[in-house]
């Protein structure tokens, strides 16, 4: 299935038995599908080290991997409250402008927690020295937040991305992959991949707010990366270093769109394992 294909691709980056994989996950639902893959990697003889904050929703210690935790400047209650608010804001109705403004405000608040977590990871000298000394073969991370890629650049490791999509379609900018609004529907438009001329114009206009969302969420990471790596760097600069993009999409639930050669579709890892009736 999809998980077996995914594990096979990851194993290519650590061909020797007992390869070492560093994992920098993103909390929430992003972690749940990644967690399943790590168990399969362990069964194949790979050593998996997961780096995560002491305060998290779902990232907990497991027999499937070594857990390296670091302190963060917020409490479990603050994180729980923020995630509940994000879920509410995401599914609440309203006009397009209302939804964009609501998502903008919530994104700034939520990203501040993740940015604080990333900053404390990169400035944890003891943990950083452990990661430098361990000599990993590759890094697996979810690039929806680029903390893992900053670490990959510092450690000079090949990186594998495990994602569904990145806000503002940064995966397409970073890989120079075509993403034309003429037939790739934008979020919130409710369009299909077959649009009239006016719908295409609307599709193009719906892209504009993304510029503000991206700046609010990702610009602080560009600043953090530049300070940490001691050279000017943008978020697309970081993202384009990926060796493989493992995309948790398919063309059954998602509209057909262009892909680059290192973008591999691994849809199915989000599905629950249940025995179907006749």
Query: Nearest-CA neighbor of 177 among 242, 129, 101?
Result: 242
Q: Print burial letters for 125-145: b (CB count within 10 Å at least 16), e (below 16).
A: eebbeebeeeebbbbbbbbbb
| Domain annotation for the chain: domains and CATH numbers | 18-178+218-265 (3.40.50.2000)
> Which own/partner contact pairs does 29-32 have at CB distance under 8 Å and 24+ positions apart?
30/142, 30/144, 30/163, 31/57, 31/58, 31/59, 32/58
- The per-residue pLDDT for 5 is 61
pLDDT at 206: 79
pLDDT for the residue numbered 102? 78
User: For the chain, which ranges sit under pLDDT 70?
Assistant: 1-18, 89-90, 188, 270-278
Which pLDDT does position 263 carry in this prediction? 94
Q: What is the pLDDT of residue 277?
A: 66
- In the Cβ-directed half-sphere of 18, how many Cα atoms lie within 13 Å? 1
Distances (CA, A) of 204 to 111, 186, 190, 237, 275: 26, 8, 13, 25, 43
pLDDT, residue 203, reads 82
The reported pTM is: 0.84
């Amino acid at each position: 299935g999809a998980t077996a294909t995914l594990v096979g691709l990851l194993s290519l980056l650590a061909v020797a038995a007992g390869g070492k994989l560093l994992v920098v996950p993103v909390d929430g639902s992003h972690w749940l599908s990644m967690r399943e893959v790590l168990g399969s990697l362990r069964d194949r003889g790979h050593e998996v080290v997961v780096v995560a904050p002491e305060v998290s929703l779902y990232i907990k210690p497991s027999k499937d991997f070594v857990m390296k935790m670091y302190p963060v400047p917020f409490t479990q209650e603050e994180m729980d409250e923020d995630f509940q608010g994000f879920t509410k804001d995401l599914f609440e109705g309203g006009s397009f402008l209302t939804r964009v403004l609501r998502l903008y405000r919530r994104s700034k608040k939520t990203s501040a927690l993740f940015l604080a977590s990333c900053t404390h990871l990169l400035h944890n000298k003891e943990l950083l020295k452990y990661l430098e000394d361990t000599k990993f073969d590759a890094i697996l991370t979810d690039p929806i937040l680029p903390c893992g890629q900053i670490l990959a650049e510092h450690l000079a490791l090949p990186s594998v991305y495990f994602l569904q999509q990145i806000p503002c379609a940064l995966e397409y900018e970073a890989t120079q992959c075509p993403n034309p609004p003429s037939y790739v529907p934008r979020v919130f438009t409710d369009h299909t991949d077959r649009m009239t001329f006016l719908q295409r114009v609307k599709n193009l206009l719906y892209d504009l707010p993304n510029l503000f969302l991206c700046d609010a969420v990702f610009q602080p990471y560009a600043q953090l990366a530049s300070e940490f790596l001691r050279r000017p760097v943008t978020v697309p600069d970081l993202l384009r270093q990926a060796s493989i993009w493992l995309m948790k999409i398919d063309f059954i639930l998602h509209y057909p769109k262009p892909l680059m050669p290192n973008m591999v579709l691994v849809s199915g890892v989000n599905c629950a394992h249940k025995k179907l009736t006749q």
